[in-house]
Structures are given as structure tokens and as C-alpha cells.
Amino acid sequence: MASIISSTTLTTTTKAQWHFVLHGGCSEICADADRQRETIENLQAVAESVTRALNQGATAKEAVVLAVAGLEDCPTFNAGHGAALNENGIHQLEAGLVDGASKTYGAVGLLETTKNPIRLANELLEHGPHTIMVGTAADDMAKKLGLETVPNSYFSTAFRKGLWERSKGNKIAGQREEGQEKWMGVWETLQSSEQASMLMTVSGAGDEILKHSVAAAVARYHADGYTLRDAARQALLPVSQAGASCAVLAIDANGESIVESNARHFPVAWGSSSSPSPKSVIHPTTIPVLQTHEIYHDDQLVIGHSRYPSTRGHTLAAFKTDVKSLFALTLDEFLRAMNTLRTINSALRKFYHVERCALITEGKDVLSIWPLHGLGRDWKPIMSGVKEYHKTFPGYVSSHDGPMMASEQLDDICSKIRSVSGLSEPLNYRFDGPDDDKNLFARIIRGELPQYRVWEDEEHVAFLTPFANADGFTVLVPRVHLSSDILSLEEQSYTKLMAAAHGMAGMLMKAFDTQQCGMIFEGFEIDYAHVKLIPIHSPADAPLDAVASFHETYQGYVSSLQGPICQNCPELVRTSQALRRNIRPPESVTPPRSWSNPDRHLLTVLQDPWYKRLFTIQDTLFHTSTDFFHKSHGYQYCLVPSTTDAVSSPMGLGSDSLPVSVSLLGQPTYLADSMQFALEYFLRIRDPVPGVYYVSTSFRGEDHDARHVNQFHHVECELRGSFAQGIKIAEGYILNLVARLLRDYEAIIQASTADGTGRLDHLTSLHDYAKSHGGGFPQITFDDALSLPTMQDGKDAITWRPVSESDLSKGRTLTPLGEKRLLEHFGGGPVWLTEMDHLSVPFYQAYTDPGHTKARCADLLLGKGEVLGLGERHVSAGEVWDALDLHRVPDKEKYRWYAGIRESKPLQTVGWGMGIERFLAWVFRHDDIRDMLIVPRLKGMSFAP
């Protein structure tokens, strides 16, 4: 399978701006070095031909046809000459082409003699008479159109023939290198390219791609506010869970290409009008740990078994964020990760019944842990005897010794590192142990042996090994003789050694001007705690991949190379599940309700784990919100004041809060119940801003209770558009936020549910719930809600109340019981309550009817009741004045400016606000939002700070 996606745009200067990405199909096979070079060279040649064509004015479609035809003519790729054989040893080819602008396509499949299927697909797209043709009829059409035809044997290569012969008795998990007769992968192409307006293509196991509608899922997640990368990763999850290989290649709105792949290899090329030449690489997997292989995850790391193990229990720890360099992390972040790995080491040792584990990393975003099998309880030196030396990074780090370096070379390297570390004579030869300790490292620390010391502090020493396999290979040791099993050291010694390693690695990267530094804990040459640090000297070209041998027992070395693909994936899943149960989950905590005792609350927050977790979740909510609004939707942030002379819920019919009046420097004003009005104002400042938002505090004057507090926090936005568009953005925000919390904090939330059940089905089922309702949450009008049998009042069950007890015509509103019953009617899932009586809501909501009786607004009921309120605004100044009169708002003149901005710039806008505390109470299955405040402000109570 091979594909290209391309776009061209004409600017006002008529110069074409273009971007393209090209791939040669994902694979679980790690080819030998020669074939990898051949793949890159051939992909580069095709990419350069596309670049030339686009520079000469070719259209995007012409570039696509040129590129795919080039791939079809190349024996390296699974397309055309070089295509896979089906189970009967026959080549049956396919191709599809989609025009994103016109949404038209042409597709062909099961071809056996057409040399370039893409050219036939192009003919169908341009001239018809059909959009899809298959089999003999399609081959006959190619002949009729004068396209080149060849015998079926033309498509065969020795490589594909060999794969076919081997596959008859040995199916490779997750990768189709041979096909079933009359099976058409072109549907995968069309399903991918349905989203051509997003510039995306999908490669891999076609059945799974179709089954899970991967491309459509990417588009859906992206529309819900995920970044394109996160949307692709989310869409790949069900395919990964099925054990199938799949990759997504896309171009975002800025022309940046993204690759998300769970396959071992994915050859890709990309180019643009702003780059002098295209770039081609074999992209490694971007999902090192599949969800089905996870044994632990938190907000920083996902840890699980490698599907390419070098030994039994080979485990990978991958950072969730984009970590380019392990040692560029802050010290706190680094120590946190290393302490997590120390805990995982303990679980792995017990589960696999081994004496110790080794750690290996190339200093990027993935670390490997190897259980070392076959060792006895007593330490004995074990060495591989293999020697290697690499001037530049070969694509892996290993603990193999190198040949002995010349003293002159060691002197030069030592001087280079000392120029950064600042180490100078006299050296500190203090050893914190007995003078008769004959261990090699003890003697080096005491200065009894020649050495190339590069750094020291009061507790550690670092020196070059003369048997380095790379320039700058440094050994870091403590001044006290500790066990060489670093991952099992007691916590204080381990933490100090890790802090020293973090600092030393940073010095090595600076000395050699490198971006990464490898690190190894192993300890079977010398029984003394020592960290091996290996600067990564990047070569001019990306190193090629290789496959490590799988070993049942420890062979005297470790390497960052991964092994062959696991041959028993179901067993690996079962093993991962069993190990996951053995890893200690986060401690269960419940809210301490310390807000009820202000004198105790201040210190409780600093000590109780509930507030530590709440603080973390609040931080994630804020940053996820800004990513959603700004990065995904282009909204601008507003710095809003906390006071206003015109509250958005003034005292009048429909007011839903009590204003908080204050005197500011002698001037009477109000603490803002919401700065929605300010958002409406900001939205009019600059065209064409699609929306504005803020995350800030709001105030209300009622007595506090389980659903109301006097100072709370709002996520609010205002956007150009209709009521329906506002609903879509709000639903996307909720779905995106829940997905992020589950991704990073599922275990923490599960251990912190206030009802003690640990149930997360309200979160984990939310996406499927929305999908079952057409991609959003169900809606019901206020009048239809009241007509439901479950909403009928009983003697002691009041589901609604009038706004004015003396005049039922002034509107109705649901009681908390009414909200509860409505949620129960919808199975407890979220529901939009729409078209409320206009006099039951604030004046600023738009009308739905000429009689001005209903409001175009909605409340999202979630958990215990309303969490998010949304409404379309009046467009004209006249509608504002009419609504102020209708709602009998006093001091109407305070809102003259609000009407005036509509005279200056009338816009149709819609906005919504979500109460953060109410949302978090729903997340934690809690019924009192006062426990969601770290620094409360409650009526009649005083809290520090």
C-alpha cells in the first residue's frame, strides 16, 4: 500500500504554496540495512519528482497521480511492481483517488494486468463512466483507454515471493504481506480519503481500518477539539487493541505534517514550497506501548510490555508528552519519572522471579527495563566479550565495551568535559568507606589508580572509561560503596544518584553539543553502583533500524534495540493484565470536608492527598481548555476584570443569582457573576476572530450549599455563529476534556471517587453515549420535559416551580428533583434542556418565537444537575431594550452600552459557561462542590490565604 496527500493554495501574489506527504506503507517487518536504504532512496526519488512537478505548476491531483505511479513502478513498495501476492500467489492490485475540493473519487480494485492502477482510477475520476470498477472489467477498461498493461508476473519480486512463501506457514501479527483472493484494500483508501479536505491518509490492516472507520474517527475527534496528532492517536486505539498495524499521515492547517503509527516501520516523505528539497525517512512507531500491553500509567508515563521484546518481560516506559531529551526535563520531572521506574522494577522482579532488572535509554522519550533472567542470588561478573566502537550514533546504545582508547584521545575528551563541569585540581579523593576496599571504583575514588575524572561533588564522582564504545562514555558512581543493583537502592541514595546523573548528562550534552545522552543501569562487570552515560553523537543521516536477538537469559550486555515481534500476542495481553493487577494502584482518598472548619483548612490542604490530586486535575483542566479553544479552534484569550457595573444576571425576572455589591475606592459596583458581557464586547474588537474565552472567577451572593458557593470558577466562551454551533463546541469541549482526564489520570480519579465505588462508567462511556445520539448529547425542550410521566408532580415531589409564586405566566423552572428525574429518564447521561420560558432565564438570551415567550438557550444537565449554561444572544439593540423591559430589569441605563455595541457591530453570537467545581464534582462522583475548592470563599466564613 502506498499513498500521497497533497494540497496547493494560491496566495494574493498568485504564487502557489503547496505541501505534500507521501508514504510507502506501514510494516511490522524490519528489513535489512540495504533494503532500508533502498526504501529511503526510492521514496526520496519519488518525492523529488513531485517537488519538481509542483514547482512547475502541477495541480495537487497531477502530483498525486505522478507520485503513486512512481511508487507503483518501484519494486521496493507494496504497490504495482513489488506488490504483495494473494493467498493463491496472484497479484491483485488496487488504487483510489479523491478530489477533496469536489468530493469526487475514482477507485479500482482486483486488477491483474493494468501496470499503473492509479492512472485508471484517475481516468474514472475525470471521465467516468463509473466511480468504482473491479476485476476483469477494470482491466478491460484500462486496455480500452490505452493504458499500459503487463502480464501478472511483472508485479512479482523475489522479496515479495519470499514473503508469500514464508507467510503460508507463519502469519505475521498485524501486517498483511499477502492478501486473500478478491480482497480489496482500496476501500481502506477511499475511507481514508473521504476526509481529503483534512489532507489525511491511513495505511495498514485494511479490515480493521474499515471496521473502526479510522479516518472518520480522526475527523470527528479533530472537530471535537483534539489536536490533529491527538485525534489520530485516539482513532488508532481500537485498531491497536485488535493487534493490527495502522498508521495515519496528515497535514494540518499550517502545513505541518503529523505521523501517528503503531507499526514498527512507516516510510514517509514530505515537502513544501518553503523547503528547498523534500525529506524521506523510515518513521518508527509513535505508540511504543499499546493500550492492551499497559501495566501502569499516570499523567507522566505509560508503561507496558514491548511487543518487540529482547527478553521475557521487556518493558517500555514512554512519556505522554513530547519529550525530545530525557535530560532536558526539569530535575523534579526527571526524578519523578525515575522514582516511578523504581516502583515498576520492584513489580517486575517479583512477577518474573528475577534478582534484578536493567534500565536502558537513548535519552529520548522511551526507557527500557529488562528483567535479567538466569542469575543466581550471589553476584558474579558476567561480560559478553563483544567489543564495539561508534564515532556517531548507530541507532542504539549498548553496554558492550569498546577497544581501549589511546591516552591522547582520552585526555582531549576529558579536557572538553572539564571545560563545562568546571572540575580542576586538586581533586577530592575522599572515599566514604574502609581504606582496604579493593573494589576498582573505590580505588579510583581514592586516587590510587590512573583515571580521567571529569566531575565530582561531595557525594559522587564521574570519570571516563578507557573502554568506551562512544566518545565521552562516562561512569558515575557514589563515594560510598553501594550495590550495583541501582533500581533497588534505598530511596535516598537512589534519588541522590539520579540527581547527579541528571546534572552529569546535561554537562555531557553541552560539552559535545548533542541533544540526547544515553543512560544504562546494569552492574555485572563491577559490583558497585554505577550509571553509564553515553553522549548521542548524531550522524548526518538518520541511523537505520535493526532487530536485536531474543534471549531467554542475560547475555552479559543490554541494548536499546528491540527484538523481533512477539509471536504470541494474546499471551502478551494476558501477561500484561496479570502484571497490571500486581502493581499497587493509587491510595484511595476522599474529601476531608475541611472547608467546614476554616481554622483547620489551611494546613489540611498542604497535607491531605485529596487536595494534591484536586490541584493536579485543576491544572490539567485549565491547560486542556486553553489548548481546545486556542490551538484547536483559534479562539483568543480575554483578560477580564473581576468587577462590573452591569451584572449579567441583574435583579429582575429570570435572574439566576444574587449580585454581590461592593465599594471600590468609594464607587459602588459589583463583583462579576460572569464576564459574559465582556466576552461579547471582546468578540467585536477584531475581525475575523471566531471566538473568545477565559477561565476565571465569578461571584454570587446566596447562602452556600452543596450546589452553590460564593466564589466559583468559570470556563466561558463566546463565538460567532448559531445556537447549534455553540452546542457543538460545548459538546466537543466536554468530550475532549473527559478524554484527557481519562488518558492522564484514570487511576487517580478511580481512587478518588467520593462515593467510594471507584466507578468511572460515567466518564468511560461518555464518547459512546454521544456516538449513540448522533455524535452529541440528547436534547429535550422544557415543555416536552414537563410532559414526561416521570416529571409529573406528586404530593411530596415537586419537579418544577414558577418564577413568581403569584403569577404563573412569568415562567417556570425545574427544581433539583426535576433535573434529577430528567437525567434518570436519559439513563443518567448528559442531556440538554432547551427552549426554557424566557422569563425564567436572564434577559440577554435570544427569542425563539415572535411572542417572545421562549428563549434560545440550553442547560447541560450532568451528574446532579446543571453544569453548563448556553444561549444565543440578541442581535439588535432593539431586542435588548425589549428584553430589559420584559424582564423588568431595574437600572436599565446601566445596559445602554450593551445595546450600543449592537448598533455599532451587530453580530449573531452564542456563548456558554461551565462551572468548574460542578464539573469536577461530576468527575469525582461527588455531591458537594465545596470540596472542589482549594481556597474557598464562603459567606459567613473566613479562609486564608
Domains of the chain: 3-284 (3.60.20.30), 291-570 (3.30.428.10), 594-932 (3.30.930.10)
Q: What was the pLDDT predicted at 186? A: 45
- Could you tell me if 631 and 818 are in contact, meaning their C-beta atoms sit under 8 angstroms apart? no
- Locate cell 468511560: which residue? 764
Cell readout for 477 is: 558512581
As a whole number of Å, the end-to-end CA separation of the chain is 62
* Rounded mean pLDDT, 78-98: 90
* pLDDT over 80 at 653, yes or no: no
Q: Is 898 exposed, middle or buried (0-12, 13-18, 19+ CB in 10 A)?
A: buried
Q: Which helix (H) or strand (E) holds 140?
A: helix 135-144
Position 8 confidence tier, pLDDT thresholds 50, 70, 90? low
**Residues facing 861 on adjacent strands:** 831, 866
Half-sphere exposure of 95 (CA within 13 A, CB side): 31
- Lowest average pLDDT, out of 6-15, 318-327, 456-465, 583-592, goes to 6-15
Q: State the cell numbers at 660.
A: 454581590
At residue 741, does pLDDT exceed 70?
yes
* Nearest CA among 384, 332, 217 for reference residue 771: 217
Q: Which long-range contacts (CB under 8 A, 24 or more apart) does 819-824 make?
A: 819/861, 819/864, 819/865, 819/866, 820/864, 820/865, 821/788, 821/790, 821/791, 822/780, 822/785, 822/788, 822/790, 822/791, 822/861, 823/861, 823/862, 823/863, 823/865, 824/790
Per-residue pLDDT, 183: 43
**pLDDT recorded at residue 173:** 28
pLDDT (tens digit, 9 = 90+) per residue, 886-940?
A: 999 988 999 999 999 999 999 999 999 999 999 999 999 999 999 999 999 999 9
What distance in Å separates the CA atoms of residue 137 and residue 112, rounded to the nearest whole number?
11
- For residue 719, the surrounding DSSP H or E stretch is strand 711-720
Q: What is the pLDDT of residue 651?
A: 66
Confidence band of 654 (pLDDT split at 50, 70, 90): low
More confident residue, 708 or 654: 708
pLDDT digits (tens, 9 = 90+) for 758-804: 889 999 999 889 989 988 999 999 999 999 998 986 666 789 988 87
Confidence of residue 658 (pLDDT cuts 50, 70, 90): confident
- pLDDT higher than 90, residue 555: yes
d(CA 821, CA 835): 18
With cut-offs at 50, 70 and 90, classify the pLDDT of residue 185: very low
Q: pLDDT category, 195, cuts 50, 70, 90?
A: very low
pLDDT at 62 over 80: yes
Tell me the C-alpha distance between 247 and 174, whole Å. Answer: 12
Q: Which pLDDT band holds residue 298 (cuts at 50, 70, 90)?
A: confident
Q: Is the pLDDT score of 318 beyond 80?
A: yes
Give pLDDT, residue 743: 82
The mean pLDDT of 238-249, rounded to a whole number, is 88
Lowest mean pLDDT among 12-16, 233-237, 644-648: 12-16
User: Residue 611: its pLDDT value, please?
Assistant: 96
Give the per-residue pLDDT at 680: 97
> What pLDDT does residue 109 have?
92
pLDDT at 184 over 60: no
- 3-state SS class at 777: coil
Region 566-580 average pLDDT: 90
pLDDT of residue 87: 86
Mark 162-192 as b/e (b = at least 16 C-beta within 10 Å).
Answer: ebbeebeeeebbbbbbbbeeebbbbbbbbbb
Task: Tell me the C-alpha to C-alpha distance, in Å, between residue 565 and each of 116, 304, 712.
Answer: 33, 15, 52
List, in order, residues 6 or more apart from 467 with CB less than 8 Å away: 387, 401, 402, 403, 404, 405
Nearest to 24 by CA among 271, 226, 280: 280
* Weakest mean pLDDT among 427-441, 638-652, 669-683: 638-652
Confidence category of residue 649, pLDDT binned at 50, 70, 90: confident
User: Can you give the pLDDT at residue 795?
Assistant: 61
Mean pLDDT of the chain: 90
Q: What is the DSSP string of 819-861?
A: HHHHHHHTTTS-EEEE--BGGGS-TTBPBSSTTS-BBSEEEEE
Residue 3 has a pLDDT of 55
Spatial distance between the Cα atoms of 23 and 267, rounded to a whole number of angstroms? 6
Tell me which of 5-19, 183-197, 826-840 is least confident: 183-197
Q: Is the pLDDT of residue 188 over 70?
A: no
Cβ neighbours, 10 Å, residue 144: 9
Q: What is the pLDDT of residues 125-156, one digit of tens each?
A: 998 888 899 999 999 999 999 999 999 999 99
Given a cut of 60, is residue 618 above it in pLDDT?
yes
C-alpha cell at 152: 501478472
Name the β-bridge partners of 643.
671
pLDDT range class, residue 410, cuts 50, 70, 90: very high
Evaluate if residue 68 carries a pLDDT over 50. Answer: yes
What's residue 912's pLDDT? 98
Residue 222's pLDDT is what?
84
Q: What DSSP state is assigned to residue 563?
A: -
Lowest mean pLDDT among 12-16, 753-757, 884-888: 12-16
Please report which confidence band the pLDDT of residue 535 belongs to, taking 50, 70 and 90 as the band edges.
very high
3-state DSSP call for residue 785?
helix
Burial of 911 (0-12, 13-18, 19+ CB in 10 A): buried
Question: Given this model, what pLDDT does residue 7 score?
Answer: 60
Whether the predicted pLDDT of 756 surpasses 50: yes
SS3 899: helix
Predicted confidence band at 869 (pLDDT cuts at 50, 70, 90)?
A: very high
